[in-house]
Amino acid sequence: MRIDDAPAFVLHARPWRETSLLVEVLSRDHGRLGLVARGVQGPKRHVLRAALQPLQHIRLAAVLRGELAQLRAAEALDAAPRLTGDAMLAGFYVSELVLRLAPRQDPVPELYDAYATVRERLRTPAGLAWTLRRFERDLLDALGVGFALDEDGDGAPIDPAARYRLEPEHGPRRLQRDTGADDRNAAATGDSLLALAADGAPPDGAGLAGLRRALRGVLAYHLGPRGLKSWELASDLAGR
């Protein structure tokens, strides 16, 4: 199958053989695609090589045969965000999440749009944690495994003063007062869930931290036993 003039975001690229790259992209109309980009390491191919960097927005042409497509052409559609420090790690994280969870060759336009949104938000390092929590919410919704954040799994309105565990197949479940400290630490506050549901102003630092831990449990469930390299890297950096 020929693919022509397809907009896509580059998720990952790695060397393959002597002069080629294996590239993973998220396209609007064809979903996640694996591409073989041949002969991109030569001195005259720097423009194409630059277009295949992670986070780059491109237009591509390819021929799809089986699991991988042969890249025929690619051009950058804009300038990719120039990220440093925590923002660079965040860019790696969102791309790795999509790479691991997005189905191959199955278009999910809502996920493509969510990636475009988070990519632009990453250009501004302020509010990075809130940017990531909103993307995690949007990714789960786009893949059909999200849940309401303004009511619990039984349909009761979220209490801003309560704490909730996020269960992947049930949604928010209110914690009882006698719940142990470990479970409470892995839970989100009701007011932070309501803020995420409304896509409004971010919660305070403690609320953001609770959301991060609660959503990580949901993501880990869908990722399976193998976690993310970006999680490991963030833990290593935090321990220094």
What are the tens digits of pLDDT across the range 137-185? 999 999 999 999 999 999 999 999 999 999 999 999 999 876 665 567 7
Q: Are residues 71 and 89 in the same domain?
A: no
Q: How far apart are CA 74 and CA 70, in angstroms?
A: 11
Q: Are residues 166 and 68 in the same domain?
A: no
pLDDT at 235: 75
Q: Are residues 90 and 26 in the same domain?
A: no
Instruction: Tell me the percentage of the chain whose pLDDT exceeds 90.
Output: 80
pLDDT at 44: 55
Q: How far apart are CA 198 and CA 196, in angstroms?
A: 5
Instruction: Tell me the percentage of the chain whose pLDDT exceeds 70.
Output: 93
Q: How far apart are CA 33 and CA 106, in angstroms?
A: 9
CATH of residue 161: 1.20.1440.120
Q: Are residues 19 and 125 in the same domain?
A: no
Q: Are residues 103 and 222 in the same domain?
A: yes
pLDDT at 185: 75
Q: Are residues 51 and 98 in the same domain?
A: no
Across 42-59, average pLDDT: 83
Q: Are residues 69 and 151 in the same domain?
A: no
Of the residues 26, 46, 76, which one is the last residue of a structural domain? 76
pLDDT at 240: 36
pTM for the structure as a whole: 0.93
Residue among 201, 219, 212, 218 at smallest CA distance from 235: 212
pLDDT at 45: 67
CATH of residue 55: 2.40.50.140
Q: Are residues 89 and 156 in the same domain?
A: yes
pLDDT at 239: 47
Mean pLDDT (the chain, rounded):
91
Question: Which residue segment(s) compose the domain that 216 sits in?
Answer: 85-238
Q: Are residues 120 and 186 in the same domain?
A: yes
Q: How far apart are CA 172 and CA 8, in angstroms?
A: 34
Is residue 2 pLDDT above 80, yes or no?
Answer: yes
Q: Are residues 135 and 226 in the same domain?
A: yes
Residue among 168, 236, 12 at smallest CA distance from 102: 12
Q: Are residues 109 and 190 in the same domain?
A: yes
Number of structural domains the chain divides into: 2
Is residue 75 pLDDT above 60, yes or no?
Answer: yes
Of the residues 27, 44, 76, which one is the last residue of a structural domain? 76
Q: Are residues 186 and 119 in the same domain?
A: yes
Q: What are the pLDDT digits (tens) for 114-129? A: 999 999 999 988 899 9
Across 211-234, average pLDDT: 94
Residue among 83, 69, 90 at smallest CA distance from 27: 69
Of the residues 13, 47, 76, which one is the last residue of a structural domain? 76
Task: Please tell me whether residue 207 adopts helix, strand or coil conformation.
Answer: helix
pLDDT at 18: 78
